[in-house]
Amino acid sequence: MTTARRDRPVRQSDVARLAGVSQSAVSRVVSGDLTRIPPVTAERIRAAVRELGYVPNPAARSLRGRRNSLLGVHAFEPLFQWARDGFYLDFLLGIEERAEETGNDLVLFTSATGRSGTGTVYNSGMNRLGMADGSILLGVASDPHELARLSGDGYPFVHVGRRDVPGVEISCVIPDYRTASAEVVAQLAGLGHGTFTYLRDPNDNEPYQDRRAGYQTALAELGLRDDSPGAAGRSGFDDDSVEELLRSGSTAVVAESVWLAEQMAAALAARGLTVPADVSIAVLETRAPDSAVAWDCLVIPRLELGRRAVDQLIELVEEPSTGPKQTWVPCSVAPGSTITHAKQRKAHQ
């Protein structure tokens, strides 16, 4: 590859652009720090250094190990739209709060948007997060290929929420949906419920997989029964969900989302059944503060997740040799008005 004649000295950003990596990865390689830099990436950087004739600045190299105390925040979907709806607000508050406590500034990356409207790290082939020491990544639409590339480039990042990236381990702070979902089942079992109905959300990403794993584990350990379409893998809500509940004599519904719980409650009301007198309903997500119904529900510790993400990112930046790790943060179960002791009902034949 040929390069255009330059009227200024070659910079690390030029090397990063040619090699297709972050500037922080270039800095590590030229300073001799190959921690978390795969050999193939290091060789690509060296090739770009040779091609461009880059000569490290001795003064800059003397600053090795120094940071600019700038942490990035990047979302894979429109951040402020979701923050306005309340979903990301507490995450952001926790991140801001902990960054201030630790003496770090924040930079929000908003311009890296792909054609699909989802956020992309490698806009125009370059990692725009490189100006920050490291970044916190948010969003259900995160691209595993980009996460793998970031990891391969040696760029420090922490993903909020569990993400499976084939062949790569990444740092995450993870809401412990499994334990909380099992706790919901145990609470219902303690109230005398033995036959359950599960309502499955169409989403099939890792947070929902964890909810399902916790639910199924608790059923098996407690010897409980669930013959519902949702437990068998069918998502959404339809008449079969209600009819199976009536046929089985189920007295407890566990819904992955509030909208599913609302549809079940409406369908039960149309058949003369009330919540929770006839059927208890618990939800495996956090109810909105202005919810008309006080659902018994799982509570995601968003503020704490944001704070933990900052701590874990700082650890990665300051001690790269620690490598990626996954931190599970406990969820809680908020009491409401939608579960009570089981009412004995005969199954409909």
Could you read off the pLDDT of 295-320 as tens digits, one per residue? 999 999 999 999 999 999 999 998 87
Same domain flag for 229 and 187 = yes
Beta bridge partners of residue 299, listed in sequence order: 332
How far apart are alpha carbons 160 and 139 in whole angstroms?
A: 8
Decide if 78 contacts 109 (C-beta within 8 A). Answer: no
Structural element, H or E, at residue 216: helix 206-222
Same domain flag for 167 and 79 = yes
Least confident of 110-114, 204-208, 282-286, 342-346: 110-114
Least confident of 43-57, 191-205, 214-228: 43-57
More confident residue, 130 or 167: 167
Same domain flag for 142 and 94 = yes
Position 48 in a domain: yes
Residue whose C-alpha is closest to residue 200's, from 162, 226, 218, 164: 226
Q: How far, in Å, are 229, 343, 348 from residue 240 at the CA level?
A: 7, 22, 13
Domain count, the chain: 3
Residues near 334 by Cβ (< 8 Å), separated by ≥ 6?
A: 286, 287, 296, 297, 298, 299
Position 168 in a domain: yes
CATH at residue 207: 3.40.50.2300
Same domain flag for 169 and 251 = no
Q: What is the pLDDT of residue 80?
A: 65
Helices and strands (DSSP H and E) totals, the chain: 12, 14
Q: What is the pLDDT of residue 2?
A: 46
- Look up tokens 């029964």; give the residue: 225
Inter-helix orientation angle 23-30/12-19, to 10°: 110
Amino acid at 116: S
Position 266 in a domain: yes
Position 337 in a domain: no
Q: What is the pLDDT of residue 84?
A: 54
For the chain, give the mean pLDDT. 87
Q: What is the pLDDT of residue 111?
A: 57
Could you read off the pLDDT of 14-72 as tens digits, one per residue? 888 899 988 778 877 877 677 778 888 988 998 988 888 786 654 444 444 557 889 99
Decide if 313 contacts 136 (C-beta within 8 A). Answer: yes
Domain assignment of residue 33, given as a range = 12-61
Same domain flag for 188 and 75 = no
Decide if 289 contacts 327 (C-beta within 8 A). Answer: no
Same domain flag for 292 and 187 = yes
Same domain flag for 245 and 319 = no
Q: What is the pLDDT of residue 130?
A: 84
Same domain flag for 231 and 95 = no
Beta bridge partners of residue 330, listed in sequence order: 176
How far apart are alpha carbons 6 and 87 in whole angstroms?
A: 47
Same domain flag for 295 and 181 = yes
Position 338 in a domain: no
What's the predicted TM-score (pTM) here?
Answer: 0.78
Q: What is the pLDDT of residue 76?
A: 83
Same domain flag for 189 and 295 = yes
CATH at residue 47: 1.10.260.40
Position 3 in a domain: no
Could you read off the pLDDT of 252-297 as tens digits, one per residue? 999 999 999 999 999 999 999 999 999 999 999 999 888 899 999 9
Same domain flag for 182 and 277 = yes
Same domain flag for 257 and 319 = no
pLDDT band at residue 169 under the 50/70/90 scheme: very high
Residues near 339 by Cβ (< 8 Å), separated by ≥ 6?
A: 187, 188, 191, 252, 276, 280, 281, 282, 296
Position 4 in a domain: no
Position 2 in a domain: no
pLDDT band at residue 12 under the 50/70/90 scheme: confident
pLDDT band at residue 11 under the 50/70/90 scheme: confident
- Look up tokens 């579960």; give the residue: 339
